[in-house]
């Protein structure tokens, strides 16, 4: 089961109470206060992991609580602090606070950690309150409660290329031929019910990730078909590959298919329709007289888009497609601005503040 959105609640551990105690030993009539401090409560930490690619492990376990700190004891013994609770989330997960809608953290790279709920501080024992004028204090502090938060987790897959197009145009077949992914393939619409990732190798060292997005139809923005809930998975892609069927048995015109999908993308998010795009003429082996293929070539010329002609059944054009995508991705990477170098080392753990915004994160 592919789960890309869920809601959970987290509760950090409470701090332990400070202790009220006095040292009582033979021949020491006034030993003085000896109450120890309470231990700190455990934090709840989210950590991005490449071993997880879905949020299903939160689906049936939505409540998470870190251990509390132990109470202080006599003889100045401090209570043990609670262990931190580390929850693994897939890379690409975006965490927001359910009540306020504030974005807390975007796990855009692996092994990033974020303290989403801080544990309570342990209370001080009565030994901490002793002074020269108050030598037998009988007060101690209670432990502070740990933070509680309701969170919304949304997964946005990290891929270089997003495959879009109408149902049954051959996206899953193409992905299975150019990568080791094995999506479900059948001769009926909406075969793909969840996004599928495939790693495409080009040459000895170069590779890129392709995401197969379930088919869109006209009116998807209003809930028709599978709707648009999976389009979030191509928000981070550098390139969109639009498959259009050129089979002589297709009903609609290539330009009509292209404009419909472009309209649905823009209704979901205007930036998606402006992403760099290439066209793929699929099912080339069924093109017949080539009327639809010629219409698609004219469309590509008017739009100034690169067109690749492929057949997943025969393998025609697949190598040219892989090398062409790799070349376009190299151009995109060169065009992207270089990250600004920082003189400070990046912290391994990012602490959330009271407003819920992580350091370096902005809305």
Residues of the chain with pLDDT under 70: 1-2, 181, 183-194, 215-230, 336-363
pLDDT at 348: 39
pLDDT at 346: 41
pLDDT per residue as tens digits for the range 245-295 = 888 877 778 888 888 888 888 887 788 888 889 999 988 888 877 888 899
63 - beta bridge partners?
9
Q: Are 312 and 177 in contact (CB under 8 A)?
A: yes
Beta strand pairing status for 63-65 and 5-11? parallel
DSSP label of 266: H
pLDDT at 18: 96
Closest CA to 320 of 308, 305, 338: 308
Name all domains of the chain by residue range, CATH numbers in brackets.
5-155 (2.70.210.12), 161-335 (3.40.50.300)
Coil/strand/helix, residue 325:
helix
Buried b (16+ CB within 10 A) or exposed e, 240-260: bbbbbbbbeebeeebeebbeb
């Amino acid at each position: 089961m592919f789960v890309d959105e869920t809601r959970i609640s987290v509760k950090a551990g409470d701090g332990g109470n400070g202790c009220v105690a006095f040292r009582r030993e033979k021949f020491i009539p006034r030993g003085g206060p000896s109450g120890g401090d309470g231990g700190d409560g455990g934090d709840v930490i989210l950590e991005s992991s490449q071993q997880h690619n879905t949020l299903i492990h939160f689906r049936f376990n939505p409540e998470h609580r870190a251990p509390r700190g132990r109470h202080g004891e006599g003889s100045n013994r401090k209570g043990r602090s609670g262990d931190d609770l580390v929850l693994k989330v897939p890379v690409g997960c975006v965490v927001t606070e359910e009540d306020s809608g504030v974005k807390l953290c975007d796990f855009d790279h692996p092994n990033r950690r974020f303290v989403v709920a801080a544990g309570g501080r342990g209370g001080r024992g009565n030994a901490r309150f002793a002074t020269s004028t108050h030598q037998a204090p009988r007060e101690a502090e209670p432990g502070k409660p740990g933070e509680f938060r309701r969170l919304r987790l949304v997964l946005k897959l990290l891929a270089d290329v997003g495959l879009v197009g109408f149902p049954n145009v051959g996206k899953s077949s193409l992905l299975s031929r150019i990568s080791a992914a094995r999506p479900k393939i059948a001769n009926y619409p909406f075969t793909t019910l969840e996004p599928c990732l495939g790693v495409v190798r080009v040459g000895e060292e170069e590779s890129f990730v392709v995401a197969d997005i379930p088919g869109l139809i006209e009116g998807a923005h209003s809930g028709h078909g599978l709707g648009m809930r999976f389009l979030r998975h191509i928000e981070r892609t550098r390139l969109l590959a639009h498959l259009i069927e050129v089979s002589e048995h297709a009903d609609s015109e290539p330009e009509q298919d292209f404009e419909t999908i472009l309209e649905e993308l823009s209704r979901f998010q205007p930036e998606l329709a402006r992403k760099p795009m290439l066209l793929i003429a699929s099912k080339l082996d069924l093109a017949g007289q080539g009327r639809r293929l010629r219409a698609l070539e004219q469309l590509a010329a008017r739009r100034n888009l690169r067109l690749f002609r492929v057949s997943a059944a025969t393998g025609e054009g697949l190598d040219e497609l892989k090398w062409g995508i790799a070349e376009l991705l190299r151009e995109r990477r060169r065009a992207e601005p270089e990250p600004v170098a920082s003189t400070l080392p990046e912290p391994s753990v990012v602490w959330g503040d009271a407003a819920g915004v992580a350091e370096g994160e902005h809305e």
